[in-house]
Amino acid sequence: MNVAIARWFLALIACSTLLAGCRSETTAAARPDASMQPRQVAVVRPEPAAFEETISATGSLLAYEEAQVSLRVAGRIQSFSVDLGSCVERGAVIARVEPQELELRVKQAEAALAQAEARLGLKPGGDLSTLEPEQTATVKQAQAVLLEASRKRDRTRELHQQGIVARADLDVVDSEYAVAQARYQEAVEEALNRRAMVVQRRSELAIARQDLEDAVLRAPFSGCIQQRNANVGEYQQEGAPVATLVRMDPLRLRVQVPERGAATVHAGQELRFRVEGDSTVYSAKVKRISPAIAQEGRVVLVEAEVNNPGTLRPGSFVRAEIITDKNSNALAVPAESIITFAGIEKVRVLRDGKVAEQEVETGRRNGALVEVRSGIEKDALVLANPEGARVGEAATPRS
């Protein structure tokens, strides 16, 4: 009897379990699957945004000024005040030539000038512009002789007219007067010659003093020594380069702009550039543009002046961007919307209630926005965050 009751009890439990399972399946079938509901996604529409129109170019930084400084006089170098890498101000001493021979030339020129001024009867350093030939001693002497000859001739003519003096005597005094007149003219010419000699001697003295001053080689502008070409004790000919001086601030930035973009480049435009090995972005403004296109490479040379913060060096390779338009509008989407795979750029869009993928061509960047040049229209619904959204699944815009 107990066994029968146990079997009946087990059968009752089994039926209860079966009925409970059937009710659970019926309830689950009646309730829709949550995974079948459309995904809610954040979408954005492409909108106009301001971008910069730029032209890429490459070039080099150059010294604003570069000069091979040389001696204007021949001589043996006595001393050097600079070496490779030395920076100097304008007028600073670079090198000196032994001055002994040049000092002797100055003394020789001073003596020759003193002699010429003495012969002219001029005080040392006297003003030549107010000195007339008639004021010189030689001319005064010749003038006195001429005056005496003139008076003697006049008296002799009177006596000849009175019949007191013979014709021969009159001819003699006429000849004496002609000689005195010629000597007077010669004295005037000699005074002018001595005056010119003083001018020449003064010029020679000025040249000798200038040569002595040029024995000290000075920097023609502020800069740094790029190269030294001579040593102490070497004899240098006139004009031989002693050192190469480069001006470090500002620098000259010279880039090559392709012919197709040269028409949009103008003086005053902003320019950004990077130097090889330096992550800093520097800026400058276009200063000069070549009027002609180079036959080799079909490029136009463009120059800018760059303020040197102290880290830039002439000769550095430069990659630059010239900003030709700061307010160029274009369609843009957030950078997070762009998916890049194997070099192909795509966005995911909401189309007919489903997620679709669309290949696009991108361009410039402006902070968090990316220019979309082609692939989507301005009314497209672009997924702001495409991660996790599968192509083909149902989706609706998130409110």
Residue 305 placed within a domain = yes
The CATH code of the domain that includes 298 is 2.40.30.170
Task: Give the pairing type, strands 299-306 and 282-289.
Answer: antiparallel
Find where tokens 């007028």 sit. 91
The domain tally of the chain equals 3
145 and 192 in a common domain: yes
Joined tokens for residue 258: 């392709």
Note whether 309 and 364 are same-domain residues. Answer: no
Residue 74 belongs to some domain of the structure: no
- In sequence order, which residues have a C-beta less than 8 Å from that of residue 279 and are 6 or more positions away? none
Give the end of a domain, one of 194, 214, 234: 214
> For residue 119, is it within any domain?
yes
Per-residue confidence (pLDDT) for residue 386, from 0 to 100:
86
Do residues 257 and 307 share a domain? Answer: yes
Does one domain contain both 338 and 253? no
pLDDT value for 206? 95
- What is residue 91's predicted lDDT score, i.e. its pLDDT? 94
Q: Are 187 and 119 in contact (CB under 8 A)?
A: no
Within a domain: residue 93?
A: no
Q: Is residue 388 part of a domain?
A: yes
pLDDT of residue 169: 87
Same domain, 334 and 292: no
Residue ranges, the chain, pLDDT below 70: 1-36, 327, 399
181 and 168 both lie in a single domain: yes
pLDDT of residue 150: 92
In a domain, 90, yes or no: no
pLDDT of residue 371: 84
Structure tokens at 237: 């000919």
What is the predicted pLDDT for the residue at 201?
Answer: 95
Alpha-carbon gap, residue 349 to 44, rounded angstroms: 9
Same domain, 292 and 335: no
The answer to whether residues 261 and 173 belong to one domain is no
Phi, psi at 379, each rounded to 5°: -95, 10
In a domain, 351, yes or no: yes
Domain boundary among the residues 214, 236, 271 is at 214
Distance CA 331, CA 372 (A): 6
pLDDT of 332 reads 86
Domain shared by 147 and 198, yes or no: yes
Of 291, 312, 327, the residue at which a domain comes to its end is: 327
Boundaries of domain holding 305: 55-65+248-327
